[in-house]
Amino acid sequence: MPNFNIDSNQERTFDAIVIGSGMSGGWAAKEFSEKGLKTLVIERGRDVKHNIDYPTTNMNPWEFEHRGQITEDIQEENPIASKSYIFKEDAAHFVVKDKEHPYTQEKPFDWIRGYQTGGKSLLWARQTQRIGDYDFEGPARDGFAVDWPIRYKDIAPWYSYVEKFVGIAGNKDGLAELPDGEFLPSMGLNCIEDHFSKSVKKNYNNSRHVISARCAHITESRDIFSQQGRANCQYRNLCQRGCPFGGYFSSNSSTIPWALKTGNMTLINNSVVHSIIYDDKKEKATGVLVIDTHTKETVTYYAPIIFVNASAFNTNLILLNSKSNRFPNGLGNDNGYLGKYIAFHNYRGKIRAEFDGFPDNFTSGRRPTSGYIPRFRNVKKQETDFLRGYAAGFGAWRSINQDYTGIGQDLKDGILNPEFGNWGVGSHMMGETIPKKESTLSLDKNKVDEWGIPLLKIDLDYDDNDEKMIQDFFEQLTEMYEKAGFTNIKTRDTKQAPGLDIHEMGGVRMGKDPKTSLLNKWNQLHACKNVYITDGACMTSTGTQNPSLTYMALTARACDHAVKESKKG
């Protein structure tokens, strides 16, 4: 007779399991722990504690051995990671190295990851815009993807709930295409950005806008931030190092410590999730199979509620690898759509120019945000030969010329008395890509990682819609720049592969019909309702907005639903 270790099973049984400790996983940990559920958070990477494990956060520029740059040998070892703007000497330790976690590329895809407590919440660009009804209704109106099972009114209260805890700096701009939120004082526009904003408003009859970009930075003290141990943003703009003040939101500075304080959360690190266990007799998921990253030992944890927040592509990987008699093609994959309809944001288009106005003005400090141009194409009706549209960042800076040619006092004078040149301005596009059935994630049948888990195979690319959108971005922004009096305008298509946007989404999309989607309106798997997906994998379409705020709001909403349903039995 088998010798069942009942005590061991009980020690490994929780009320809820959360896979991943990043942006959405941290919120699931907070919500469940706060509501009294004994919660296990499983993180595949090492532990990073707020204000303890930020090794570069207070370093001066001259203290970096290579002046902040990555050496050539490290770049050669990491051809993918080194393409990212965050893979520099001050933050490379928070970015996954290429050789350590390989994947299969059917077409080029630059997958940027952060495997540690907090995930990429330590590294994100902190831009936070709500998705509104023009985006939620887009698929139904334009005929791509499937209809979202929710509308703005369903998630609006949860946006507010999250924003009050996170701290979002911004203005009430009153734009139908970009809903307002619960804002702290805005970081504002500089004089050139304000000039451009007024020019756009005047020349386009108030149909296009340039606003202060909304960002997850504390600009005004509130009791809720003090309770988290967070202080106002210090405008250091060194956020990717980990902020010792907690001035910007991360799981490490906010949701994870908050969950730990309840005494209800257990965090395990260096634990790779192999699969979710499905019980055919009980007709539900019962636990999670985990592999220790160092010892390779396996252990199973149990819970009646399972949230998968491993980041979009890894969430797809876990579900695809979670096979059973009931689900031979992956958990919840009755329709064969798991891993399909992947999408991302198109960041290829960039435009720069100069402006010789405002000669007596210059900027000071390090504002960690910029201006923002909300989407203005195909918003209320189809008006171009491509579907959907793009938003854009917009920033302005004063060029500074310092003379380094002298010696002694002349050198000092040249450095300390700079001459100011013209203003520079620049924009980058954030285009919505169309989820397509042929844009897929799958398991490599021949290659596995060091834990015996199949490598993820990524197969997606730009399409004709994206190319048309890039050209429209160049044409429209060039015209807007010219009307504002900008000169020496230069456009650039970076031709970068998908992935550097770090906004991958889809594969486990929400929808109304189980025949064409994987998740219902509460982010539950249609075919396995005690498993919820609330990270980027759940997105039906991408919109043009930075998506992290939406992940957090969907997570808080889904946690509330899961707790209420569990109380009903």
Per residue in 241-271, pLDDT (tens digit) is 999 999 999 999 999 999 999 999 999 999 9
Q: Using a pLDDT cut of 90, give the percent of the chain over it.
A: 93
Question: What gap in Å lies between CA 32 and CA 42, rounded to an integer?
Answer: 14
Q: How are strands ordered across the β-sheet holding 340-343?
A: 104-105, 454-459, 436-448, 340-343, 505-507
At 96, phi and psi to the nearest 5? -65, 135
Q: How confident is the model at residue 414 (pLDDT cuts 50, 70, 90)?
A: confident
Q: How many CB atoms lie within 10 A of CB 374?
A: 22
Q: What is the mean pLDDT of residues 481-510?
A: 98
Task: Band the pLDDT of 8: cuts 50, 70, 90.
Answer: confident
Query: What is the token pair recorded at 177?
Result: 């295409």
Instruction: Map 388-413 to HEC letters.
Output: CCEEEEEEEEEEEECCCCCCCHHHHH
**Quick one: CATH architecture of 7-170+215-344+436-459+504-568?**
3-Layer(bba) Sandwich (3.50)
Residue 211 pLDDT > 60: yes
Instruction: Write the CA distances from 255 to 128, 215, 225, 258, integer angstroms.
Output: 17, 17, 11, 5
Residue of 430, 438, 432, 512 whose CA lies nearest to 477: 430
- The pLDDT of residue 429: 98
The predicted structure's pLDDT at residue 467 = 98
pLDDT tens column, 151-197: 999 999 999 999 999 999 999 999 999 999 999 999 999 999 999 99
- Half-sphere exposure of residue 120: CA atoms within 13 angstroms, side-chain side: 24
Q: Which amino acid, 256?
A: I
Q: Report H helices in 187-270.
A: 191-203, 223-228, 255-261
H helical segments located in 292-355: 312-321
Task: Specify the pLDDT at position 508.
Answer: 98
Q: Which of 27, 21, 15 shows the shortest CA–CA distance to 302?
A: 15
Angle of helix 548-568 relative to helix 152-166, nearest 10 degrees, comes to 110
In terms of Cβ atoms closer than 10 Å to its own Cβ (0-12, 13-18, 19+), residue 131 is buried
Residue 2: pLDDT band with limits 50, 70, 90: very low
Q: On the CB side of 447, how many CA atoms lie within 13 Å of its CA? A: 11
- Expressed in percent and rounded to 5, the helix, strand and coil fractions of the chain are 25, 25, 50
Taken in order 530, 535, 539, 543, is the CA torsion positive or negative? positive
Identify the three-state secondary structure at position 121: helix
Neighbours of 114 (CB within 10 A): 22
pLDDT tens per residue, range 358-391: 999 988 889 999 999 999 999 999 999 999 999 9
* Distance, CA of 219 to CA of 206 (rounded, Å): 28
The 10s digit of each residue's pLDDT in 281-291 is 999 999 999 99
Give me the pLDDT at residue 1, please.
Answer: 36
Q: What are phi and psi of 294, to 5 degrees?
A: -95, -50
Has residue 4 got a pLDDT over 60? no
Domain boundaries, the chain: 7-170+215-344+436-459+504-568, 185-213+345-432+462-497
Looking at residue 413, what is its pLDDT?
87
Please give the average per-residue pLDDT across 144-151, as a whole number: 96
Question: CB atoms < 10 A from the CB of 462, how many?
Answer: 19
List the one residue out of 535, 509, 507 whose CA is nearest residue 521.
Answer: 509
**In contact, 510 and 538? CB cutoff 8 Å:** yes
The encoded tokens of residue 25 equal 């996983």
Assess contact for 146 and 512: CB atoms under 8 A: yes
CA distance 196 to 173: 16
Instruction: Tell me the average pLDDT across 103-124.
Output: 98
How many CB atoms are located within 10 Å of the residue 101 CB? 18
pLDDT at 551: 98
Beta strand segments in 460-512, E: 487-493, 505-507
Task: For Cα atoms 502, 241, 170, give the angle at the middle one, nearest 5 degrees.
Answer: 65
Overall average pLDDT of the 313-322 stretch: 98
Average pLDDT, the chain: 96
- Characterize the bridge pairing of strands 345-346 and 104-105: unpaired
Categorize the per-residue pLDDT at 3 as very low, low, confident or very high, splitting at 50, 70 and 90.
very low
The fraction of the chain above a pLDDT of 70, given in percent, is: 99
Q: What confidence score (pLDDT) does residue 9 get?
A: 87
Instruction: Tell me the per-residue pLDDT of 417-471, one tens digit each, with 9 for 90 and over.
Output: 888 889 999 999 999 999 999 999 999 999 999 999 999 999 999 999 999 999 9
8 A C-beta contact, residue 92 and residue 74: yes
Q: For residues 546 and 136, give the distance between their C-alpha atoms in angstroms, rounded to a whole number.
A: 15
Question: Quick check: helix, strand or coil at residue 298?
Answer: strand
**Band (6; pLDDT cuts 50, 70, 90):** low
C-alpha to C-alpha distance for 118 and 328, rounded to whole angstroms? 32
Residue 486 vs residues 361, 401, 426, 445, 482: alpha-carbon distances, Å = 16, 20, 11, 54, 5
pLDDT tens for 32-52 read 999 999 999 999 999 999 999
**Coil, strand or helix: which one is 241?**
helix
> pLDDT grade, residue 5 (50/70/90)?
low
- The tens digit of pLDDT for each residue in 538-554 reads 999 999 999 999 999 99
Q: What is the mean pLDDT of residues 269-284?
A: 97
